[in-house]
Amino acid sequence: MFDNKSFDSKYNPFDFEQKIYDFWENNDVFKVEINKEKKKFVIPMPPPNVTGVLHMGHALQDSIQDLYIRYKKMKGYNVFWIPGKDHAGIATQNVVEKMLKKEGVTKEKLGREKFLEKVWEVVDKHKNHIEKQKRYLGDSCDWSKEKFTLDTDMSKAVIHAFVELYNRGYIFKGKYIVNWCPRCGTALSDEEVESKEEKSNLWYIKYPIVGENDYIIVATTRPETMLGDTAVAVNPADERYKKYIGKKALLPLVNRQIPIIQDGYVDPSFGTGAVKITPAHDPNDYEVAKRHDLPLVYVIDSKGFMTNDLPSHFANLERYQCREKVVMQLKEEGLLIKVEEYTHAVGYCSRCDTAIEPMLSDQWFVKLKELSLEARKYVENGTIKIHPSRWEKIYFDWIDNLKDWCISRQLWWGHRIPVYYCDECNEIIVSEENVEKCPKCKSSKIHQDEDVLDTWFSSWLWPFSTLGWPNKTDMLDYYYPTDLLVSGYDILFFWVIKMIIAGSTFLNKPPFYDIYLTPLIRDKFGRKMSKSLGNGIDPLDIVKQYGADALRFTLIYLSTDGQDINLDPLKFEMGRNFANKLWNAFRFAYPYIEQVEISEDEMKTNNLTNDFDLYDKWIFSKLNQLLKQLDHYYDNYKIQFIAQYIYNFIWHDFCDWYIESCKPFLFGSDIKLKTRKSKMLKYLIISILKIIHPLMPFISEKLYQSISSNNGKILANEKYPEYDEKSIDEKIMEDFSFIENLITNIRTIKAELNLHTNKDLTFFVKTDDENERSLIIQEIMIIKSLSQISHIDFIEKEPSAKFSTSVVKNSSIFLIIEGLVDIEKEIERLKKEISKINDIKEKLETKVKSKDFIGKAKPEIIERTKKELLEYKAKIEKLEDKLRIIEK
């Protein structure tokens, strides 16, 4: 299936990416199996909405998760990336309701059972959609292990969790003012409400005092709710209103007499200091009403319309229309004193963007606060680490301010609440099994609670329900706790915290040890990506345009600790160009590496080092240094550095310097040298493919499969290279940097004197440093080749002819330019360089002259600074000497 000849062609990821994925699957590369001999590494995949489509956030999170899964697998771990999907209660129900609406049907018309059939139909159709998309990204999941939050076993876990919490006293039913979405027709948790700043008004309304020619003025942001007022409240300490307390106000428009009461909740400095109390439609007012035993008057129904028992001109109006009408009529009656512009926060349903209506209703709650103590400790004592760590503070803030969690939803799509009511004796039965008979009165007139559970009530169990909990399975035993959770920080509160609470509550263990919170992806202007703005970038479009490897690499490269990613699609060019670079490096090396074999033994660093020259030793040092750094960055979740360091190594160290240094040998006639360089190339290419594989799995596997001696071996199953501290040789790297500087200096002189193309130049070197001299002699062929000159000769004295010059460490290089270029140009160039170095020199000088510095800085810093100063001084001296000579 792999055409080796394709290396005559350009990098074209579309030719092979999906073939490679099939290749992995056909070879069971992703297969998950318990193996107690091996250490495990588990990531529970945040389950995407079953009817959803892949967005950039998924692409980023999956790239990171796959990065770790593939890396750990190559490091010898038995990995499990638990795949799954979420039934997403409200979201999915909304999708289906919208579809039905197009057909002119409502869910009420269909009835619960038929409606659910319809939802399942839609879900089944969508079911594999996201999974397919994730295959394009290269996600290394065992898809046969996929779970769905409404699967039978998952449902059992949910029901079990509910019953257990109920029995332990952490679940209760109660009448409270909850966030109600009139469009979705259900209660929501606090987290599902998004508050938005909104410009509105503060209306000041006169409420006449009964039996007196006086009135009290209240201020409100929601005039329509006045129809449901049952009191006016003032602060007990407010002198202005003392005289009204105990009296009654006549509620305008409906002419109801309501008491004027005092309550500490009222802030005298806000508005008029007098508050209308609408207990049925405001959480604070409700609390006030409870304290004062006030009646509740409902005026808004569950659809957001006014109730029909109101005066006819208000009855059945939509709430905002009613507001206008109320304001109008108040104006007509002269009761509206003033209207003030006022900005305040209004809650919106995060699913459908409808304004939330606080509603009094019967709902089920979880006492989260009491359950969260252990969860707090996990992070406190480092059992769970959050990366980046600043989120830990935010985690504590949240956990310390948890409120009761409203878990009942007035929906049909979801896990039905396992609570049964006896119609005869009103007994409440909470049971994991279906209840047919009342255990108390034996009646069979039983009905189950109509509501379903919040989606998050199933997903908070995800890290263990997917492993078989509440059964004691081998999976659970082996894989739990999982190791890493990768998620956008936006659901830290919805989900991550709740999972930790669930883990501690049901299993007495954390659900995972590390949490990596990814940045959010925004458009290039920093705006959220959304359908309505049309500024979303579809990851699959990027895959089609640049390839999955480019997408993955770029996203990881951009995933920094600091902030959200403002994504310009052009950035993917970087990943694509890099993949192209790798492809072409391979293309170059291919014929050579095909001609040599390297044994397993030789593959071990130590055994390749025998005949190494400077470049070999240097690239080896760099490779091992890279491996060491990568391990560190993987361990510390500094993933942008993983991409960055690999990029620099492959592009600059390997391609720009090592491969270029090999060319004279590869093109030369010395078979022995050619063979050694070929072996080196083979070794390095194979190492590079392994290193890059977790980031760019497709191209690396494709190239790996193209090496004929790898027949049968699959890169995804290979072992990751381990670094060897002994191979990191500082002296070698210093020597190399001398040669590198020498070459760069020659190139610079050539470029600045417009001699780019002139290859027939002789450079002279004057040095009294023996090490540098011998390095030059040793590497002369490569120096000439990389700097494109014809000769290098040593001299004892500065040349007598006019020259261009540069200082490299302890050596000086010269190019005779008399007759070649304008001398003035060289003088200018030299002066510029001298002044540059002089600036640095002066800085160092003042430092070294400072008594404080000498007295207080660490000795090694002083020493280093002094040494630097000497170097710069010497360099300047040399350059100035030369300047004098030329200027003569």
User: Is residue 856 part of the contact set for RNA (CB under 7 A)?
Assistant: yes
- The binder of RNA chosen from 22, 477, 568, 828 (CB under 7 A): 568
Instruction: Please identify which residue in 2, 143, 215, 265 interacts with RNA, judged by CB under 7 A.
Output: 265
Piece of the chain touching RNA by CB under 7 A; list 59-67, 276-284, 479-487, 596-604: 276-284
Beta carbon of residue 699, minimum distance to RNA (angstroms, whole number): 11
* Near RNA in 180-199, by CB under 7 A: 190-191, 194-195, 197
- Report CA-CA distances (Å) from 654 to 186, 619, 659, 723: 60, 7, 6, 17
Q: Which amino acid is at 346?
A: V
Min. distance of Cβ 706 from RNA in angstroms? 14
In the range 586-605, which residues lie near RNA by CB under 7 A? 587-588
Residues in 21-50 that interact with RNA by CB under 7 A: none
Interacting residue with RNA among 113, 770, 824, 852 (CB under 7 A): 852
Q: What share of the chain is helix, strand, coil (3-state, %, to 5)?
A: 50, 20, 35
Q: What is the DSSP string of 638-686?
A: -HHHHHHHHHHIIIIIIIIIIIHHHHHHHHSS-HHHHHHHHHHHHHHHH
Contact set for RNA, span 637-666 (CB under 7 A): 640, 644, 651, 655-656, 659-660, 663
CA distances from 337 to 212, 270, 764 (A): 19, 16, 94
Nearer to RNA, 400 or 477 (CB): 400
Which amino acid type is present at position 222?
A: R
Does residue number 563 form part of the binding site for RNA (CB under 7 A)?
yes
Position 845 contacts RNA (CB under 7 A): no
Q: Which of 284, 431, 545, 771 binds RNA (CB under 7 A)?
A: 284
β-pairing, 419-422 with 803-808?
unpaired
**Residue 268 interacting with RNA (CB under 7 A):** yes
272 binds RNA (CB under 7 A): yes
CB of 846 to RNA, least distance (A): 9
Q: What is the DSSP string of 870-881?
A: HHHHHHHHHHHH
Residue 55's φ and ψ, nearest 5 degrees, are: -125, 180
Residue from 667, 712, 760, 770 touching RNA (CB under 7 A): that is 667
Q: Minimum Å distance from CB 573 to RNA? A: 6
Distance CA 585, CA 602 (A): 22
**Nearer to RNA among residue 718 and residue 871 (C-beta):** 871
Residue 56 Cβ, how far from RNA at the closest point, in Å? 14
Cβ(529)–Cβ(523) below 8 Å: yes
Residues 475-494 that bind RNA (CB under 7 A): 493
**Number of Cβ within a 10 Å radius of residue 503:** 25
Q: Which of 356, 406, 411, 585 binds RNA (CB under 7 A)?
A: 585
Helix (H) / strand (E) element for 322: namely helix 319-332
Residue 337: DSSP 8-state: E
Q: Does 273 interact with RNA (rule: CB under 7 A)? A: yes
In whole angstroms, what is the distance from residue 27 CA to residue 444 CA?
Answer: 55
Beta partners for 364?
A: 173
The nearer residue to RNA, 25 or 194, going by C-beta atoms, is: 194
Q: Are 282 and 223 in contact (CB under 8 A)?
A: no
**Contact between 577 and RNA per CB under 7 A:** yes
| Cis ω for the linkage preceding 470 (within 30 of 0) | yes
Q: Does 724 contact RNA by CB under 7 A?
A: no
The reply to whether 581 sits near RNA by the rule CB under 7 A is yes
Burial 20-31 (b: 16+ CB within 10 A, else e): bbebbbeeebbe
Beta pairing, strands 357-366 & 186-188 = unpaired
Contact in structure between 735 and 614 (CB atoms under 8 Å): yes
Residue from 31, 344, 440, 445 binding RNA (CB under 7 A): 344
Contact between 302 and RNA per CB under 7 A: no
Distances (CA, A) of 634 to 68, 376, 516, 654, 722: 8, 26, 11, 22, 14
594 Cβ neighbours under 8 A, 6+ residues apart:
707, 708
Q: Give the span between the Cα atoms of 385 and 483, in whole angstroms.
A: 11
From 45-53, 291-299, 584-592, 673-681, span contacting RNA (CB under 7 A): 584-592
**Which strand ranges, in their side-by-side order, compose the sheet holding 428-430?**
428-430, 419-422, 446-448
Residue 822 in tokens: 């304008």
In the complex, the smallest distance separating the C-beta of residue 32 from RNA, rounded to whole angstroms, is: 34
Q: Does 573 bind RNA (CB under 7 A)?
A: yes
Q: Rounded CA gap, 583 and 579, in Å?
A: 6
For residue 304, the 8-state DSSP code is: S
Instruction: Select 669 or 757, whichever has its Cβ closest to RNA.
Output: 757
Can you tell me which of 55, 58, 276, 323 binds RNA, judged by CB under 7 A? 276
In the complex with RNA, the residue whose CB is nearer, 416 or 873, is 873
In this chain, which of 334, 534, 562, 819 binds RNA, going by CB under 7 A?
Answer: 562
How open is the CA angle 301-306-312, to the nearest 5 degrees? Answer: 140
Residue 473 or 744 having the CB closest to RNA? 744
**Residue 294 vs 475, nearer CB to RNA:** 294
Record the tokens describing residue 194, joined without a space: 């998004």
Q: Among residue numbers 734 through 753, which ones bind RNA (CB under 7 A)?
A: 744, 747-748, 751-752
Cα 180–Cα 183–Cα 188 angle in degrees, nearest 5: 30
- Shortest reach from residue 369's CB to RNA, in Å: 14
- Contact of 454 with 413, CB cutoff 8 Å: no
Q: Which residues on neighbouring strands pair with residue 203, listed in sequence order?
A: 220, 339
Judge contact between 161 and 149, C-beta under 8 A: no
Neighbours of 259 (CB within 10 A): 18
Please give the size of the binding site for RNA, defined by CB under 7 A: 87
Stretch that binds RNA, among 122-130, 138-146, 476-484, 573-581 (CB under 7 A): 573-581
**Minimum CB distance to RNA smaller for 129 or for 829:** 829
Least distance between RNA and beta carbon 429 (Å): 34
Does 1 interact with RNA (rule: CB under 7 A)? no
- Which region among 146-154, 180-188, 268-276, 813-821 touches RNA (by CB under 7 A)? 268-276
Any idea how long the chain is?
888
Positions in 496-535 near RNA (CB under 7 A): 524, 526
Residues 401-420 that bind RNA (CB under 7 A): 401
580 forms part of the interface with RNA (CB under 7 A): yes
Pick 220 or 812: Cβ nearer RNA: 220
Output the smallest distance, CB 9 to RNA, in A. Answer: 10
Which residues in 90-119 contact RNA (CB under 7 A)?
none
Q: Is 10 in the site for RNA (CB under 7 A)?
A: yes
Stretch of 213-221, 454-462, 534-542, 703-711 contacting RNA, by CB under 7 A: 213-221
Q: Given candidates 18, 128, 221, 675, which one binds RNA under the rule CB under 7 A?
A: 221
State in angstroms the smallest separation of the CB of 646 from RNA: 12
Q: Quick check: 397 binds RNA (CB under 7 A)?
A: yes
- Taking alpha carbons only, the member of 21, 67, 25, 65 closest to residue 46 is 65
User: 773 to 832, contacts with RNA by CB under 7 A?
Assistant: 788
574 near RNA (CB under 7 A): yes
For tokens 């007994």, the residue is 427
Does residue 400 interact with RNA by CB under 7 A?
no
Give the whole-angstrom CA distance, residue 133 versus residue 61: 14
Cβ 153 vs Cβ 468: under 8 Å: yes
Nearest residue (CB) to RNA, 107 versus 319: 319
Dihedral angle at the C-alpha atoms of 633, 640, 694, 382, nearest 10 degrees?
40
For the bound state, the minimum distance from the C-beta of residue 585 to RNA, rounded and expressed in Å, comes to 4
Cβ at position 267, least distance to RNA in Å: 3
Q: Does 757 bind RNA (CB under 7 A)?
A: yes
